[in-house]
Amino acid sequence: MPQTNPADPTESGAAAGDYLEITPLGAGCEVGRSCLYMECKGRKIMLDCGLHPAREGIQALPYFDMIRPEEIDLLLLTHFHVDHCAGLPYFTEKTGFKGKVFMTHPTRAIYKYIAQDFVRVANISTDEQLFDTKDVNSSSEKIGRIDYHQECEEKGIKFTAYRAGHVLGAAMFLIEIDGVKILYTGDYSREEDRHLKPAEIPPSCEVDVLIVESTYGVEKHENRDVREAKFKQLVHDVVRRGGKCLMPCFALGRAQELLLILNEYWRENPELASVPIIYSGALAQRSLEVFKTHRNMMSDALRKEIEQGRDPFEFKQMDQAGIEADPGPLVVMAGPGML
């Protein structure tokens, strides 16, 4: 007797096309270039559009050749990290894609800086470049903005953004197609840090499909307090003996979080007042403006500080010559490539 397979829609009595098809175009069994293609009841959605940070040119793109970009109705982008957003200028400008793109306000603002910076530092010849500044500008004009908890609808696809923690503006998307609910988390953090609220759990609803980021799997991170204490001790040891503490860190998110930890520690230890904390790089300066604009998305403690007129993100700008000429102890943060 033939075996029936309940997963086969023709056996279970479901109509043809009555199922959800999910295809990872990147980030499946790898870290980098998050990009997911989803098809349900004739609607076609793409989730994130990242580049592989360790590859160059065309090799860094998700597998766009597995889909027809011109058929995609909607592209939702979770946050501004390169591995989630940097493929967008290529996708909107160099393929047949004609659908709508949505992301939160801060993601859109910072996406533009990130993509421009990507063009600037790309270490390859111009004909291998995936896109240029003109493409970046033109792609940002096509982006629709969505607020947390705002429900939008596009070609019968309903979608709502929820706070994901992780970085400023990061969103999870709850998508509903014909009553089928799908939650795509993107990168998220459930731990409250200095500047951001943690990821929220969407209000009671039954999610049919959960697509969750799992880079660290079941690995346990060291307790946050322990990590912070070790970090502050290490920095203090270096500057106490007159040293220069060089810290490679990405301009966005991580740099702001470290600045907040150090500024607080500096206030608690007045003997450190004369030791400057420097961030080298224009990207951090420009993006801080975005952080200050979106203070409503910050943690409560941080918002209070800003309302009281204090600048919790305070740091000095100094160029390389200034840093080299400074004889005293200092702390320098810069992008890993710049350092």
The nearer residue to Zn ion, 176 or 187, going by C-beta atoms, is: 187
- Ordered DSSP codes for 31-42: SS--EEEEEETT
Burial, 306: exposed, middle or buried (Cβ in 10 Å; 0-12, 13-18, 19+)? middle
Q: Do 92 and 101 contact (CB within 8 A), yes or no?
A: yes
Q: How far is the CB of 11 from Zn ion (least distance, A)?
A: 40
Output 129 or 189, the one with its CB closest to Zn ion: 189
Residue 161: φ, ψ to 5° = -95, 140
Nearest to 20 by CA among 153, 177, 190, 167: 177
d(CA 40, CA 47): 14
Residues with Cβ within 8 Å of residue 117, at least 6 apart in sequence: 283
CA angle 269, 273, 276 (to 5 degrees): 125
Rounded Cα distance between 48 and 116, Å, is 18
* Nearer to Zn ion among residue 263 and residue 287 (C-beta): 287
93 vs 187, beta carbon nearer Zn ion: 187
Count CB atoms within 10 A of the CB of residue 37: 22
Closest of 35, 33, 60 to residue 47, by C-alpha:
35
CB 76 to Zn ion: min, Å: 15
Nearer to Zn ion, 33 or 81 (CB): 81
3-state secondary structure (DSSP) of residue 225: helix
Nearer to Zn ion, 171 or 275 (CB): 171
What is the edge-to-edge ordering of all strands in the sheet holding 330-334?
Answer: 244-248, 330-334, 277-280
Shortest Cβ 172–Zn ion spacing (Å):
12
Tell me the H-state helices in the chain: 9-12, 82-85, 88-94, 105-121, 133-141, 224-240, 254-268, 282-293, 300-307, 320-325
Q: Which is nearer to Zn ion, 44 or 81 (CB)?
A: 81
Smallest distance from the beta carbon of 187 to Zn ion, in angstroms? 4
Q: What is the dihedral of CA 86, 90, 91, 97, to 10 degrees?
A: 150
CB of 199 to Zn ion, least distance (A): 12
Tell me whether residue 215 or residue 296 sits nearer to Zn ion (CB atom). 215
Applying CB under 5 A, which residues contact Zn ion? Answer: 81, 187
